[in-house]
Structure formats: C-alpha cells, structure tokens
Structure 1
Amino acid sequence: YSVTKRFTSATHFFLGLALAIAPLGAWIAQTGRIDFAPIVLAAGVVCWVAGFDLIYATQDYDFDRGEGIRSLVVKLGIARSLRLAQLLHLLTFVALIGFGLTAKLGTLYYWSMPFVAAALLYEHKTEKLDLTGINRAFFQSNAFVSAVFLTAVCLDRLIR
C-alpha cells in the first residue's frame, strides 16, 4: 500500500484489495472452492476500505501534495474525494445486499443492514475535517460496521 503512493493515485483501492483477499481466502479455506458470493463480498470490502481510506487521507492532503505523494485526495481535491467516498460506501452497501443474496443468507442478515447503512452514513456526517472527527468516523463507524456484519452472518448461520 505505502509503495503504491509513489506511482499511482489509486492507492486506496490497493489497500482495499489487500484487505479483500482475507474473506475470499477464508471462504476458499472453508469450502474448498471459489463461489460468486465471496467475490461480491470482496468487491464490497474494496469499496468500503477505499471509501474510508479516502476520508482518512483528507487529513494528509497538504503533506501529500507538498511531498509529491500520490492519492486520489491530492488528484481530486478534498470535496470530490469525499463525494467519491460516499459513492464507494453506497456501492459497499449494494455489495453487502448482493452478498446476502448470493450466499443465501436469511432475514436476520437483512435486518442488520439498516444498522450498517446508518453507520456508513454517520461516517459521512462528520462536519469538521479535523483529527477528532475523522478518527471518530474512521474508527467507531468502521468497527461498528464490521461487528454488525460479523454478528449478522454468524447468527444467521447458527439459527438456520
């Protein structure tokens, strides 16, 4: 991830891809095969991570620009990067719904999705782009999203 900042502005997507390999690998380890469901989930992880990394990277804008470090925040500017993060998080939500459909998850999973959507929306409601607001959005929202997702999938599988 850090090396990609030297040659591409798409560093946020490389980070997302690096993290998206984990659920795909876990699925293969558990089932012994590649199915469409974990690919949909991996796409959601790429969008989720790239989106929150864009938000987090806004605090490095001046430094990255001055040092010639590449990022979409430097390339697009802060306002457009935040809009892109919103789009990526919308795509994340769509992918999570798609994952539920392709993995044949039940009602409990879908009941959890409004909580995920609320946490993703909250992440974008940070009015001030200061360290406190970004850290709150970055750490609390993302921890909540991952905890709700994990709980929903596990409980869905346990009760079925």
Structure 2
Amino acid sequence: MVGARSLAMGMNRLIDAEIDARNPRTARRELPAGLLSRVQVAAFCALALALYLIAVFQLAHIVRWLWPIPLVGFVVYPYLKRWTWLCHLWLGVVDGLAPMGGWIAVTGRLPWEAWALGGAVALWVAGFDLFYSLFDLEVDRAQGLHSAATHFGVRGVFAGARVCHALTVVLLAAVGAGLGAGGWYWAGVGTVTVLLVYEHALVRPGDLRRLDAAFFTVNGVISVVFCAFVLAETGL
C-alpha cells in the first residue's frame, strides 16, 4: 500500500506539473516551485514501484498476476481531468482496489462482500473528491479542465457527493450483513454515517468557508475511526 500510494502520488505530480504551475493553490508544490526536478521525482516513483513489487511477490500467487491493474489506474487518472468529469469516480475506483487487493491477497478469493467493500471505498472517495474539485473551480474553467464542478456547478457537486456518501453507507451495511458482523462493526458504520452527515453539514453551496474541514479533517477522522471499530470487531 505504501509503495503503491507513493507511486500514484509521484506520478500524479509528474503528469500534472504544468497544470499545477498555473494554479495558485498548487504552484508551491515541489515540482512547480523548483524544489525538486522531474528526474528526482521519477527516481522516487521508481523506488516506490520497486517497493510495491517486492511486497506483491511476498503475497498469494494470484496477486502476482493482478499487480498491473492498479498501475493502469495510476497512469490514467491524471489525464482524465483533461477529458471527462468522470475523473472523480475513476479516482474512487482506483482507491477502492486497495481493500479488494488486500482481501484477495489474504484469502485468495474475492466474494461479493469484497466487491461491496471496494465499492463503498470508491464512492466515499469519489464523494469527497467532488468536494475537492470546488477548490479549483475557476482555475479549472480557465484551463479548460473537466471536473464535476465545471460541468455541474456547485449545487451539482453537492448533490453528487450526497448520493455517493449515501451509497457508501448502504454498501458498508451490506458488507456487515453479508459477513454477519457484530456490534463493533455496526457501531463503526453508525459512526461513519454520523461523520458523513456532519461533513455535509459543514458546507453549503453558498458557504464554502469550512471546505477544508469537510474535505481534509472529517475524512481523515472517518478512515481512522472506522479502522479502529473494525479492529475491535476482529479482536485485534
């Protein structure tokens, strides 16, 4: 996970370096600001790829055939915003591969509960990435980039995020029901639901002052808290 995530972030910075340089919010990132060279970032990506492959070949044999799939997602994602607003959903799908990959690496199987968990993560990420697109709405319009915000406006983004996060809760509940999960898991689903409602209560189409808290803070808490409840459920 660390190798894959590091590789994805490094490739995103490389591919988007020129776009980032034209955006005041991202112009201070390492590549546009000249703090790192493209060669240095490429070397970092190579090291991250090596770490990813070393880890992959310690896992179940089937994983050795599946490892290129996330790499395709990493490469395609940065380019999608140049063509389609579906980039948000693609990002979610790429992140949703993580729990599915972990599941098949441990069990060698991919039952419907694994697909549902991957779908929950995909929709959760897509939902908060819709919010993230609001940070760069005017800049994306000026650069001719495609995002949900440039296509559907602020209200459309809010509507899409609500749908994504409602379906996230539904899928998490489906996973729990399918696995016969106990109280700790359901407490986790309930807590995630409350936090998602709170996230959406922080911002309104006409008031984005707390967008940072809604996007960064709340979702960071969600991931840690839900992980804690799942660990409690498993007795770890």
Return the TM-score normalized by structure 1. Answer: 0.93
Cα deviation for residue 40 of structure 1 reads 0.1
* Structure 1 residue 103 displacement after superposition: 2.5
Are residue 155 (structure 1) and residue 221 (structure 2) matched?
no
Structure 1 residues not aligned, in runs of 5+: none
The aligned residue for residue 151 of structure 2 is 75
2:116 equivalent to 1:37: no
Larger radius of gyration: 2
User: Map of 1:79-118 to 2, 5 A cutoff?
Assistant: 79-118=155-194
Query: Residue 84 of structure 1: CA displacement?
Result: 1.0
Contact 1:51 1:89 in 2 (8 A): yes
> Which of the residues 80, 89, 113 maps onto 1:13?
89
What amino acid does structure 1 have at the position aligned with 2:214?
A: A
User: Paired residue for 1:48, among 105, 121, 124?
Assistant: 124
Tell me the CA shift for residue 143 of structure 1.
1.4
RMSD: 1.3
Q: Which amino acid aligns with 2:110?
A: I
Q: Contact (CA 8 Å) 2:127, 2:162: kept in 1 or not?
A: yes
Name the CA distance, whole Å, in 2 between partners of 1:84 and 1:109: 27
Could you say which structure has the higher helix fraction? Answer: 1
Give the structure 1 partner of residue 71 of structure 2: none
**CA contact 2:199–2:218 (8 Å) conserved in 1:** yes
SS at match of 2:235: helix
Q: Distance in 2 between matches of 1:158 and 1:41?
A: 20
How high is the sequence identity, in percent, across the aligned residues?
35
For structure 2, the residue ranges without an aligned partner over 5 or more in a row are: 1-76
CA distance in 1, matches of 2:146, 2:102: 32
**Which AA in structure 2 matches 1:53?**
D
Q: Distance in 2 between matches of 1:114 and 1:139?
A: 20
How much does 1:68 deviate?
0.8
* 2:215 matches 1:138: yes
**Equivalent residue of 1:153, what SS?**
helix
Per the TM alignment, residue 39 of structure 1 is displaced from its structure 2 partner at its CA by 0.3
Higher relative contact order at CA 8 Å, sep ≥6: structure 1 or structure 2?
Answer: 1
Instruction: Name segments (4+ residues, structure 1) moved above 6 Å.
Output: none
Q: CA deviation at 1:114?
A: 2.0
| Aligned-partner Cα distance in 1 for 2:168–2:127 | 9
Confirm or deny: 8 A CA contact 2:93 2:122 kept in the other structure: yes
Displacement, 1:112?
A: 2.3
Q: Secondary structure at the match of 2:132?
A: helix
TM-fit CA distance, 1:113: 2.0
AA matched with 1:66: A
Contact 1:59–1:129 (Cα < 8 Å) also in 2:
no
